[in-house]
Structure 1
Amino acid sequence: MNTETADPAELATLREIFATRPGAAPPAGWAAVRSFEAEHGIVLPEPYRTFVAEVCDGLPAGPPYYGLLPLAQTPPDWGSGRPERLLAEPFPLTAAWLWEAEDDGAELSVEEFDALTDPVFDHGSLLLGTDGCGMYWHLVVTGPQRGHVWQIAGEGAMPFGPDSPDAVMPGTPGFTGWAAQWAAGRSWFPDA
């Protein structure tokens, strides 16, 4: 996965997926992309960067279920009381973390729990959209997972597309692999 240079084959795949979708928003353009990057102190990973600038900046009919968000937007159910999104701060995870399944014998206060999980939701990623019920898809823009797509929900966080036999959401990593999985009508979870 090359996050620095747009692969023409990946862009062709993305154009094919999104070109015929009803309601696809026009591209944001390079000026808007560069402005967003300057405002947040980041460079978006490829091929998403070129996709938003040249192909499409949002799609109401997915992916994900409630649509692909335009650059810099959050879904309506994101909430107004959330911490500030800090895209330049590194995304804190490199492996799935299902905090709901953890039992360390000690109950955390709401404040302690939020201090642990808020960076997962708000650091180093932008929101691609939601599948509802608090399940959000993020594209990591900063840190070791840059370019990977993660599903983050109240129960935990997991990457899409790790190349391992025990992966919860196997597939081709990155934005193009994630979009292609959706376009092919394949489930995110193989046992679903």
Structure 2
Amino acid sequence: MNWSGVRERVLALRKAPGTAKVFGAGGHGFRLDPPLSEAEVAEAEAELGVSFPPAYRSFLLEVAAGGAGPDYGLYPLRRDDQGWHWVALGDTREVNPLLGRPFPSEAERARWTEELDTREPREEDFPDEDAYRAAYRAWDDEWEPLNQAMTAGAVCLGHQGCGYFTWLAVTGPDSGTLWNDLRAADGPLEPLSVDFPTWYLTWLHRAAQEAAGAPSGRPGRRR
């Protein structure tokens, strides 16, 4: 992937008169972290136990460690005294605890969900309400680790708004694919139909149009 000129195009939008019209610009302000060096990227990969997909890796090396990007921007990859991590909203450290595991297939996620659904306790199977409620709480508690397992082997790239996120698979057969996470509203974790470069460059083209006052032609965004 050739990212030549992309960093300069993004930074130039900081001075465009209509940047306030671009969704999410109030958060990232068209600012970019400096790119990482080859040594830094290699160190991050070794510490995190993964190899970044080529397009994302080259972005880190040639454009930025994070910052301006689709929606509310790309979570920057940074290092502090605790090690490498991504910086999420509110300057919180973000590292997927299951990052080194294989990213599950859609079939696996569907099977896990169906299996847990079938084990939902039924009140008529318990001698009293207290026993049922205790069993239901134990069953309901299983959803949190299951939801976490759904994005094993993936990096959370950024926040779309309203609790929706974009993920990048970095392990397994689907490494390099992007995923739209709508689970905050009981929606799916669904694949995006574009790769990382297309996703980022489409946003940049649209942002430049909007900042220049041209209609984007896109549907309303989540806020």
- Residue identity matched to 1:92: P
Larger Rg: 2
Render the CA deviation track for 1:7-34: whole Å, top value 9, x for unaligned.
Answer: 33xx348557545343122112222211
| Aligned residue runs from structure 1 range 104-123, under 5 A | 107=120, 109-121=139-151, 123=152
- Identify, as 1 or 2, the structure richer in helix: 2
Matched, 1:176 2:197: yes
- Per the alignment, residue 69 of structure 2 pairs with 62
Equivalent residues of 1:181, 1:188 under 8 A apart = no
Q: Contact 2:55–2:196 (CA<8 Å) still a contact in 1?
A: yes
TM-score by length of 1: 0.69
Contact 1:43 1:141 in 2 (8 A): yes
Cα deviation for residue 150 of structure 1 reads 0.8
Equivalent residue number for residue 105 of structure 2: 93
In structure 2, the gaps of 5 or more residues are 15-30, 78-84, 121-135, 207-215
Q: Does 1:20 align with 2:12?
A: yes
How many Å apart are 1:83 and its aligned residue?
9.2
RMSD: 3.7
Query: Which structure features the higher share of strand residues?
Result: 2
Counterpart Cα distance in 1 of 2:195 and 2:192 = 8
1:29-48 alignment runs, 5 A limit? 29-48=37-56
- Confirm or deny: 8 A CA contact 2:96 2:154 kept in the other structure: no
| TM-score (norm. length: structure 2) | 0.61
Match of 1:86, as an amino acid? L
- Structure 1 gaps of 5+ residues are 1-6, 162-172
Mapped partners of 2:88, 2:34: distance in 1 = 19
Q: Which secondary structure does the structure 2 equivalent of 1:47 belong to? A: helix
Q: 1:58 to 1:120 in 2, by over 3 A?
A: same
Question: Does the Cα contact within 8 Å between 2:86 and 2:95 map onto a contact in 1?
Answer: no
Matched, 1:75 2:105: no
Residue correspondences, number: 167
